Amino acid sequence: MKNIIIAQQPASPRDWAKLLVYDTSTDEIFFDRFYNLDKYLPKKSFLVFNNTKVLPARIRLKKKNGGVVEVLFLVNETNRSDKKIRGMVDRKINIGDKLFFDNKNLATAVRQENNIFTFKLNFTREKLFRLLENAGSMPIPPYIKNTPLTEQELRKKYQTIFSGTPVGARLIGSMAAPTASLHFTDRVFKKLEKKGIKKFFITLHVGLGTFAPVSEKNIKEKKLHQEYFEMEKETLKNCQRWKKNGKKLVAVGTTVVRTLESIFLYPPEFISGSCQKCYNQFSEIISKNKKIFGNTRIFIFPPYNFKAVDCLITNFHLPGSSLRLLVEAFLKFKKAKKTLEELYQIAIDNHCRFYSFGDAMLIK
């Protein structure tokens, strides 16, 4: 596809982004602004959002000899040791090299997988998050090359207005924003509230694998990169009850889809491994705890029978990514007459902006 406009900054205000609405039941397409989303959602519906918070995980560290190395810490990998974390480096380093945050705090390279190193910290992961908040920069995707936004502006605009709420350390840890939610404003929420459309929140910490092209290994194993999620048990009960009563679940973004479909299915091959023991442990988590949590590797591609999601709000995604396959699977599930490629071409013809800071699409 040619003439794609890659957005270098979000619409201002956020809810002025374009909205492509595709009604799969009638094969009709409408264009509007996002602040009018309430006009197009089913009357009996509710929204589910991802409330994860992006951490400024990219930081420049000093080597002992005075050189500088940029490290992008993979902060979404929450199942790692408290004092070990992986990170991508922008230049050659060796096992044993020490990288300094300051005179007291350092990370030592102890293992290498291509340009990704495992670092041993001489402090806690909690302190790492504080150091990154203080001196790191936002890990915006590489295709945003000419953004006019400053670091301080990115920290606000590459973040949803509800990120990290309710306040809690476990809600911080994404490598990328759940971009479909970037369009929401207080104005949009007030209009939805007037129509009785409720909202719920889950958490999934987005990893770099979100942007990676699908590999042969992914297709063969039917699994993707691992991402941590959690959901209040009460939220799950509400979603199940509302769906049973005929209300439509509107997933705001592919990360929400990935979380909900994992939880509604929770087969052992998608959550915390591939053994019956893991499945039993997950079932025990559901029955005994207030929160459901785990690591999902679910790979949604056509054909796929969606168990949780009825409607989808999403941005326009990178070619070859798992996100496109997920949206294509949803279109086929809805028996849509148009393919994703056709919808994307219509979006291009109508000057929609693509990718993280781009415009949005509602499929219902």
The sheet with strand 223-232 has its strands ordered as 28-33, 18-23, 360-363, 311-315, 248-252, 45-50, 199-204, 223-232, 291-298
CATH class of the domain defined by 58-135: mainly beta
pLDDT tens-digit profile of 8-66? Answer: 999 999 999 999 999 999 999 999 999 999 999 999 999 999 999 999 999 999 998 88
CA dihedral 25→26→31→33, nearest 10 degrees, is -40
Give the pLDDT score at 167.
61
Whole-angstrom distance, CA of residue 186 vs CA of residue 196? 15
User: Is 353 in contact with 6 (CB distance < 8 Å)?
Assistant: yes
pLDDT tens-digit profile of 271-281? Answer: 444 444 444 44
pLDDT tens-digit profile of 143-181? Answer: 999 999 999 999 999 999 999 877 665 788 899 999 999
Reported pTM: 0.90
Other CB atoms closer than 10 Å to residue 57's CB: what's the count? 27
Structural domain boundaries in the chain: 5-54+157-363, 58-135
Residue carrying the six token digits 């092209």: 213
CATH class of the domain defined by 5-54+157-363: alpha beta
Residues of the chain above pLDDT 90, percent? 71
- State in Å, rounded, how far the first CA of the chain is from the last one: 24
pLDDT tens-digit profile of 62-80? Answer: 998 889 999 999 988 765 5
Residue 3 has pLDDT above 80, yes or no: yes
For 172-192, b/e burial (b = at least 16 CB within 10 A) is bbbbbbbbbbbbbbeebbebb
Residues of the chain above pLDDT 70, percent? 91
Residue 81 has pLDDT above 60, yes or no: no
Q: Which residues pair with 5 in a beta bridge?
A: 353
